[in-house]
Amino acid sequence: MITRGDIQNISGYKKPQPPEKKIKLRKFNWSRIMIYLVMIILVAITGYTLTHLDTANVKIGEAMHGLIMTLNQIFLQPRAGSDGIMPLLSALGISLLLAIMTTIIGAIIGFLFAVIASRNLTNAYFGAIIRVIMAVIRAIPTIVWVLIFSIVCGLGTNAAILGLSFHSIAYLTKAYSESIEEIDQTTIEALKVTGSKFWVIVFQAIWPTIIASLVSWTFIRLEINFANAIAVGAAAGAGGIGYQLFVASGMSFDFHEVGFIVYLIIGVTILLEFIAVKLRQMYTTK
């Protein structure tokens, strides 16, 4: 009679032992820990804020009812209201021009600063100073810039143009210089070896290489500037469609007109987005 034990003895067979340690399904890494940490902190802040939120004793039910009534007026019954269509359209045009103009100023000056501020082109210290200044300019909200300039130039389009341009310059300087820093160093060195001057390098090597991302960033900024132009018109009285929106919703409470204005604005932003997408395709497929 051969038993199981005999087979084991003969063949030296041993029952498989479970491994000493569990196989690790996940490797330890800082990335995962950081993600959890950030999530916990953010959720904790949110929880604390929401439980301590000042609601000014508004009854949520009533307020929601009112909101739905207002939204109904805005989105389902838009009307040009007492202002008429033409003044609203011209105000829309002013906001759009404001956005285009400040984007042009921002793009031109921003590009010059970006070239100076890029690490792979110029003196590191000089670039660092410009980056710090731009970071400070960007930290101040656009509306605050406009209000600051309105003290010197008076309320109106001049203050709006300067304020919006300031923020655009700082934003585009950062965006452009990041694109410039992505350029392969050898391209620049190859031109330097031929004895090319600084601006020749910029316009013959850098400009053509980053034109696609330049265009795409500029159009992103145009969209932002249009939104900002509206905000500035409302909060700083700088004119344009934003001011009409502010008057209609905060003073005359004509929500039919608010609806009309909102639809106009949505139309323009969707148009801008469409143009941006088309341009991006044009430059990336080339």
d(CA 281, CA 276): 9
Q: Give the orientation angle of helix 241-250 with respect to helix 255-285, to 10 degrees.
A: 150
To another protein, the closest distance from the beta carbon of 36 in angstroms equals 10
Measured from the CB atom, is 127 or 237 closer to another protein? Answer: 237
Helix (H, G, I), strand (E, B) or coil at 210: helix
Q: Which stretch binds another protein (CB under 8 A): 78-86, 180-188, 194-202, 228-236?
A: 228-236
- Specify the residue, 69 or 190, whose C-beta has the smaller distance to another protein: 69
Q: Report d(CA 30, CA 27) in Å as an integer.
A: 10
Beta carbon of residue 250, minimum distance to another protein (angstroms, whole number) = 6
In the block, tokens 């590191």 appear at 124
Specify the stretch interacting with another protein by CB under 8 A; choose among 4-12, 79-87, 185-193, 242-250.
Answer: 242-250
Q: Determine the size of the site formed for another protein (CB under 8 A).
A: 72
Residues 156-195 that bind another protein (CB under 8 A): 157-158, 161-162
Of residues 120, 191, 269, 276, which one binds another protein by CB under 8 A? 269
**By CB under 8 A, residue 70 contacts another protein:** yes
Question: Which residues within the stretch 198-227 sit at the binding site for another protein (CB under 8 A)?
Answer: 227
Is 38 a binding residue for another protein by CB under 8 A? The answer is: yes
**DSSP line for 97-165:** HHHHHHHHHHHHHHHHHHHHH-TTTS-HHHHHHHHHHHHHHHHS-HHHHHHHHHHHH-TTHHHHHHHHH
Cα separation of 116 and 177, whole Å? 9
* Other Cβ atoms closer than 10 A to 3: 8
Q: Is 104 in the site for another protein (CB under 8 A)?
A: yes
Q: Which of 133, 148, 183, 279 forms a contact with another protein (CB under 8 A)? A: 148
76: contact with another protein by CB under 8 A: no
Residues within window 45-64 making contact with another protein, judged by CB under 8 A: 45-46, 48-50, 53-56, 58, 63-64
SS (H, E, C) 23-47: CCCCCCCHHHHHHHHHHHHHHHHHH
Residue (46 or 284) nearer to another protein, CB: 46
Contacts of 113 (CB under 8 A, 6+ apart): 130, 134, 169, 173, 177
- Please identify, among the stretches 16-24, 79-87, 175-183, 264-272, the one whose residues bind another protein according to the rule CB under 8 A: 264-272
Q: Does residue 265 bind another protein (CB under 8 A)?
A: yes
